[in-house]
Structure 1
Amino acid sequence: MDDLGFNKIAGAVLATGLGIMILMKLPAILMPDADESIAYKVGPIETTTVEADVDLPFPQADWVAAMDAAKGAKVFKKCTSCHNVEDGGANGTGPNLYAVVGADKASHADYSYSAALDALPGEWTYENLDGYLEKPSAYAPGTKMNFIGLKKPADRAAVIEYLRVNGSQSLAKPEPAVAELEISTPLEEPIVETEQSMEEPPVDVTDETVVEPTE
């Protein structure tokens, strides 16, 4: 091979190498501010726990477990200035509460109730008593009972049990209520059946020209 042929080959190799280098540097030249950070990162998936507010039915197991007559007698001492639980006991500033659990509201004889309590329908169920003892003025706006209420559910449950054993023993303790969760399932999309055409597809018929051989 002469020098001219060698120079041509060497020049071609150098030109190819230079072209590759230019192609490798071209993105950095054209986009100098490009972000070189990793676009995708492999790692643990972060999960978020969403707590939904659920209104639990009354009573829950902890409320039933707190129904302690002995403790209720101690808490009831806050009420003795207005009420008593003696069988046949006299009314005080408030009505006698013997056998009040399960009785009709505002039904104790010889006591003048406020219009707010007279207007309340129904019975003194466990749930109604719990709501009333929590805050009387909120449960029956306008009531004459000037009592701030029992804020602790356990105290209310204990007092109600104390009232139950004083005249309402025939009324059984409540069973803990079980929350029922509604689970909705997405509706399936209706399946639309289409009738396929029974017609046969048209046949492309090409005229054939018969060419007879010539002698």
Structure 2
Amino acid sequence: MDDRNNTIAGWVLFGGIAALGLSIVTGMYFAPHRPETMGYVVEGVEQEGEAGGAEAEPPIAAFLATASAARGEAQFKKCAACHTVTPGGANGIGPNIYGVLGKAHGHLPNFQYSDALKSVPGNWDWDSMSAWLKSPKSYAPGTRMSFAGLSKPQDRADLLLYLNAQGSNLPVPPPPAEEAAEEEPANAVEAVDDVAVSEEAPAGGSPAGAASVGLPTGATTDQAAKGN
């Protein structure tokens, strides 16, 4: 009888071990994996390899020159579910952001900002607001804001121009000096062309300075041609 019970217990133990092993194997086989190529791009979510290999993004001032407040108003519709942008507007899930540019982080006394955002020093300027709109969680780790962000700098520039017109009216920064320097080669070419024109020969004569080069005092060009 004892042998029979031991045999049954052994088979039960074996079955349990086999079931456990099978569940581990199937779990490994059917575990979710990120596909090598994303089927579609979710705005604000970086694909693998983008952060390390992408070139540094130009400052937001480079995009403000071509920004449009009208396009920015359309971008603000993504924010309107949580924020108001009217004078004295009520707070929602997020604070009222009328006149926010130029103000300190967490400046409204009647809104409970996250400690993560309140701990960020300085004021909301063009660059800091652009960084926040690009990735709130990267700008202030621990923030309660769940917005994924605007990955395209031109979209952020449009939105910033619109927000600035809503009670802030900060001076729009000029394009970076690098962009202004790109115009210098064209100006240099024009200057060279001017010099070339000034050295052209007068009507009916030789180029300026050519008649006197290598000629003795009082010699003519005809004498020079005959070997003096």
Match of 2:217 in 1: none
Q: How does 1:53-202 map to 2 (within 5 A)?
A: 58-61=59-62, 63-169=63-169, 171-179=170-178
Q: Please give the alpha-carbon distance, in whole angstroms, between the structure 2 residues aligned to 1:148 and 1:165.
A: 24
Q: Please give the alpha-carbon distance, in whole angstroms, between the structure 2 residues aligned to 1:175 and 1:91.
A: 33
Could you tell me how far 1:174 is from its partner in structure 2?
A: 1.0
Deviates most, 83-92 or 172-181: 172-181
- The structure with the largest helix share of the pair is 2
Give the percent of matched residue pairs that are identical in Structure 1 and Structure 2. Answer: 43
* 3-state SS of paired residue (2:108): coil
Could you tell me how far 1:121 is from its partner in structure 2?
A: 0.5
Change (3 A) 1:149 1:57: closer
Structure 1 segments unaligned to the other structure (5+ residues): 1-52, 182-215
Could you tell me how far 1:68 is from its partner in structure 2?
A: 1.2
Q: Please give the alpha-carbon distance, in whole angstroms, between the structure 2 residues aligned to 1:64 and 1:173.
A: 7
Could you tell me how far 1:122 is from its partner in structure 2?
A: 0.1
> Over alpha carbons, which structure has the higher Rg?
1
Q: Please give the alpha-carbon distance, in whole angstroms, between the structure 2 residues aligned to 1:55 and 1:138.
A: 16
Residue pair 1:69, 1:158 contacting (<8 A) in 2 also: yes
> How big is each residue's C-alpha offset from its partner over 1:93-125, in whole Å with a ceiling of 9 and x where there is no partner?
000000001111111230000010010000101
Could you tell me how far 1:58 is from its partner in structure 2?
A: 2.4
Q: Please give the alpha-carbon distance, in whole angstroms, between the structure 2 residues aligned to 1:157 and 1:177.
A: 14
Change (3 A) 1:71 1:120: same
Change (3 A) 1:75 1:54: closer
Q: Please give the alpha-carbon distance, in whole angstroms, between the structure 2 residues aligned to 1:125 and 1:60.
A: 11
Residue pair 2:64, 2:161 contacting (<8 A) in 1 also: no
Residue pair 1:99, 1:164 contacting (<8 A) in 2 also: yes
Residue pair 2:61, 2:173 contacting (<8 A) in 1 also: no
Residue pair 1:57, 1:178 contacting (<8 A) in 2 also: no
Could you tell me how far 1:154 is from its partner in structure 2?
A: 0.6
Q: Which amino acid aligns with 1:58?
A: P
Change (3 A) 1:141 1:116: same
CA RMSD, Structure 1 to Structure 2 (Å): 2.2
- What TM-score results when the alignment is normalised by the length of structure 2? 0.52
Residue pair 2:131, 2:139 contacting (<8 A) in 1 also: yes
Could you tell me how far 1:78 is from its partner in structure 2?
A: 0.6
Q: Please give the alpha-carbon distance, in whole angstroms, between the structure 2 residues aligned to 1:75 and 1:57.
A: 21
Q: Please give the alpha-carbon distance, in whole angstroms, between the structure 2 residues aligned to 1:94 and 1:157.
A: 21
> How big is each residue's C-alpha offset from its partner over 1:10-60, in whole Å with a ceiling of 9 and x where there is no partner?
xxxxxxxxxxxxxxxxxxxxxxxxxxxxxxxxxxxxxxxxxxx98576244
Residue pair 1:132, 1:139 contacting (<8 A) in 2 also: yes
Structure 2 segments unaligned to the other structure (5+ residues): 1-53, 182-228
Q: Please give the alpha-carbon distance, in whole angstroms, between the structure 2 residues aligned to 1:104 and 1:134.
A: 19
Q: Please give the alpha-carbon distance, in whole angstroms, between the structure 2 residues aligned to 1:59 and 1:147.
A: 20
> How big is each residue's C-alpha offset from its partner over 1:154-202, in whole Å with a ceiling of 9 and x where there is no partner?
1100111111000012x11111121499xxxxxxxxxxxxxxxxxxxxx
Change (3 A) 1:151 1:54: closer
Q: Which amino acid aligns with 2:90?
A: A
